[in-house]
Each structure stands twice: as C-alpha cells, then as structure tokens.
Amino acid sequence: GPMESEEDEEEVWLFWKDSGKEIKSKSIRELAQDAKEGQKEDQEVISYYRYQLNLFARMCLDRQYLAIEKISGQLDVDLILRCMSDEDLPYDLRASFCRLMLHMHVMPVKYARLWSEIPSKIAID
C-alpha cells in the first residue's frame, strides 16, 4: 500500500550555509543530480560533503570511540546503508559512505569480538 512505500522513499537531506550565511537545504539525490548536470554550487557541496565523510571515517580509525559515538549520532547505520546502496548517487560519494560504515560500525565490532575471544584466565603451568 501507499504507507509502505513512504518508508522506502525517506530522503537524506543536507543543510549548509551559503556565502551570504543563508541556510540552504537540498536532498542528497537532488544535489547529486544537479551536480551531474554541471551546477557548480551543488558540485562543491557534494564534494565538501564527501571530504567530510572521509574525515569522519579517519576520525573513527583506531577505534576512537569518542569520535565514533559523536558521529554515529548524526549518521546512523540506516542512513549510511541507504546512501551506500543509492544508485542515484555518484560512485565516489557512495564509496565514502562505505568507508565510513567500515570504520565506524564494522571495524569496532570486529575488535570488540576479538577481545571477547581472549580467555580471561590463562593458566601458566
């Protein structure tokens, strides 16, 4: 029914201030589309956003839990997965979401598991 399709179509929106300090907003898909069509401002916003995602990914490296906690509050797993799998977005942007997913949500889990596999008592004979 129409109710279910609404969930699928939940859009990711970006907000930014332009040079005149005015707040602008646009869905990430619309930005990507207009950037593809050669809109300079949209290209710059998408590019800036991509660098920001890459920066966040680097901040999460080495399991920086403070960074991870802050950033994952803004960019949850669902949002990242949705953008990763959105074929309307450019490859490099999807790759940046992918990297963030890896560093923020996948790697820490892997290490958490490693630690739990270490026996708590080691007998030395």
22-68 pLDDT per residue, tens: 999 999 999 999 999 999 999 999 999 999 999 988 888 876 777 88
pTM for this structure?
0.72
- Confirm whether 74 is domain-assigned: yes
Phi then psi dihedrals of residue 14, to 5 deg: -110, 145
- Confirm whether 95 is domain-assigned: yes
Coil, strand or helix at 88: coil
**Containing domain of residue 108, as a range?**
2-117
- Confirm whether 123 is domain-assigned: no
What is the Cα–Cα distance from 87 to 64, expressed in whole angstroms? 30
Model confidence at 9, pLDDT cuts 50, 70, 90, reads low
Residue 116 or residue 105, greater confidence:
105
- Confirm whether 122 is domain-assigned: no
- Confirm whether 24 is domain-assigned: yes
- Confirm whether 124 is domain-assigned: no
* 101 pLDDT higher than 60: yes
- Of 59, 62, 94, 90, nearest to 80 by C-alpha is 94
Total number of domains constituting the chain: 1
Percent with pLDDT over 90 in the chain: 47
